Amino acid sequence: MPAQQKKIIFCIAGVLSFACALGTAAAIGTQLWVKGTILCKTGALLVNATGQELEKFIGKIQYGLFYGERVRQCGLGGRPFQFSFFPDLLKIIPASIHVSVILFCTVLIVFALVGAGFFMFNAFGSPYETLHGPIGLYLWSFIACSCGCLIMILFSSEVKIHHLSEKIANFKEGSFTFKTHSEQFANSFWIILVCSLVHFLNALLIRFAGFEFPFSKSKDSGTTTGAVDLMY
């Protein structure tokens, strides 16, 4: 592939990586990871609510990695309640999983920025085939993509398996019991999915630029592009 086309591809990949770093950083600070509704089970059972009457006992909840909000509905109108995970909810949530999600988000941002820098370096510089070259680009893209996948897996398990929404809904509730009525992942969660796909796409762009995947054997053993040769 001509050098000019390689520069264009690496510039595109660098911009995408930088955009993913900014998107992930923005996603961490929002409360738009999960949205849902919560049912005041105790109140609904007391009045034997059914059909439209049940709507008076259905509140709302949304939260992110650090804070969130819920609206408590027990038949007497909505009562909003703000909460934060640190330190309020640490005793009732799977703290190790939650902290791991935040840690992997940070790692994702770091390696997305590192990848963006090295993509630009490869576009406008003349690196050797070391970690500064395609091997490094594959590595940074793989780490960032893996972190994105781990974030989604861990956070999904925290929400679905450990019933995070119910634990938050019942936080500091004495006589009332709340149950998750519906929940779905919101924008910030899907930003992480998009970022993971972008980093996977970046690896394909590197291959499209003409560089073999790491550890793949070349068909022509006589043709090598060793560390002593410049990429371009």
Beta bridge partners of 178: 40
User: What count of Cα atoms within 13 Å lies in the side-chain half-sphere of residue 189?
Assistant: 20
Instruction: Please enumerate in sequence order all residues whose Cβ is within 8 A of that of 152, keeping only pairs 6 or more positions apart, or say none.
Output: 189, 192, 193, 196
Averaged over 177-185, what is the pLDDT?
91
- Asked if residue 104 has pLDDT above 60, the reply is yes
Q: How much is the pTM?
A: 0.84
DSSP, res 91: T
- Integer Cα distance of 58 and 37 in angstroms: 6
Q: What digits encode the pLDDT tens for the residues 143-169? A: 999 999 999 999 999 999 999 999 999
CB 129 within 8 A of CB 34: no
Q: What digits encode the pLDDT tens for the residues 21-77? A: 999 999 999 999 999 999 988 888 887 877 777 888 889 999 999 999 999 888 777
| pLDDT band of 188, cuts 50, 70, 90 | very high
Instruction: Return the residue matching tokens 């630009």.
Output: 120
- Integer Cα distance of 20 and 108 in angstroms: 9
User: For the chain, how far is it from start to end, CA to CA, in angstroms?
Assistant: 10
Instruction: Please enumerate in sequence order all residues whose Cβ is within 8 A of that of 196, keeping only pairs 6 or more positions apart, or say none.
Output: 144, 145, 148, 149, 152
Strand 78-84 and strand 178-185: the pairing is: unpaired
- Integer Cα distance of 168 and 35 in angstroms: 12
Please tell me the predicted confidence (pLDDT) of residue 49: 76
DSSP, res 56: G
Tell me how far the alpha carbon of residue 67 is from its chain's centroid.
16
Q: Which of 182, 193, 195 is nearest to 54 (CA)?
A: 182
CB 85 within 8 A of CB 78: no
- The mean pLDDT of the chain is 84
Q: What digits encode the pLDDT tens for the residues 203-229? A: 888 888 766 766 655 544 444 444 334
Q: Which of 171, 159, 119 is nearest to 140 (CA)?
A: 119
- Asked if residue 202 has pLDDT above 50, the reply is yes
Averaged over 1-5, what is the pLDDT?
69
